[in-house]
Amino acid sequence: MVDTKVSLAGVVLDNPIIPASGTFGFGKEFSELYDISKLGSISFKGTTVEPRTGNAQPRIADCKAGMLNAVGLQNPGVDAVLAEEIPELAKIFPKPLIANISGFSEEEFVRLAEAMDSEPAVGIIEVNVSCPNVHAGGVNFASDRKETEKITAAVRKATKKPVFVKLSPNVTDIADMAKGCEAAGADGISLINTLLGMRIDIKRRKPVLANRYGGYSGPGIFPVALRMVDQVRHAVDLPIIGMGGISTADDIIEMVMAGASAVQIGAANLVDPWTCIRLVDELPARMEELGIESLDEIRGIA
């Protein structure tokens, strides 16, 4: 019998499989398809302070080996998430949740962290720094190490829960960004977020997305994600949640061999909503075939 248990900064999961934020809603829709309590954890829909309707349509575009999205953090806002969404999700998922938070200023990140700190169903706070800093002319937090450190330190002070910082791949040196997070007190790193991309409708002669640019995700970004996980695990001594184009048990094993402690499944959920539960069954079977007794024995082995 193989051991699929993993630990994320002291939070133990039965298996490393986590639906990625923004691709699983708040779990209710998927609970109608299968028993979501079999998942390792759930990173629920990115939460902001105020409700957001998201970007204008169209905000999804098909691509070779993936998709583009510019949804724009559509969510009901932190008050509704705490009062309605988390209590409902906790009824059907009795394990620690991952709260993905997105702020547009340091103050907003702190408010969100404090709110999630008081929620017993939340085990980990995932800080999405890929948001524009409204106090710095809209510059993305994730593209500036000092700003990322500042947000990480502020969130670290605002909660006692483990803090994982979700990094953008759209930077010059991902390892340096991770070092900044570690120095500021992060308990772990999530990577990678989507790559910035674009599609053009050649008949309309206009960008496909109303937002012009969007985040590219899916199988096409897997080698990039794998490389960045490998770089970060050599740069910091923190657990890593790897993501980016994962859709098979072999992908998960590769991610762990590169240094990830757990993985998140994103775009694959939108193609096949049974992906995560299929991987829960397929991973231990594949580990047995490869003679792997536990994920710990292969972590970072590459």
Among all residues, which ones are annotated catalytic? 131
Query: What b/e readout covers 266-293, taking b as 16+ CB neighbours within 10 angstroms?
Result: bbbbbeebebbbbbbeebbebbeeeebe
- Is the previous residue joined to 292 through a cis bond, with omega within 30 degrees of 0? no
List, as own/partner pairs, every contact residues 81-88 make where C-beta atoms lie below 8 angstroms and the sequence separation is at least 24, other chains included: 81/26, 81/44, 81/47, 82/115, 82/119, 85/26, 85/44, 85/45, 86/26, 86/44, 86/119, 86/121, 86/122, 87/121, 88/26, 88/28
Query: CA 219, 92, 51 angle in degrees (round to 5)?
Result: 70
State the DSSP string of 108-122: HHHHHHHHHHT-TTE
Distance CA 254, CA 300 (A): 9
Please answer whether residues 258 and 233 qualify as being in contact, where contact means their C-beta atoms are separated by less than 8 angstroms: yes
Please answer whether residues 242 and 191 qualify as being in contact, where contact means their C-beta atoms are separated by less than 8 angstroms: yes
Report helix angle 249-258 to 222-235, nearest 10: 30
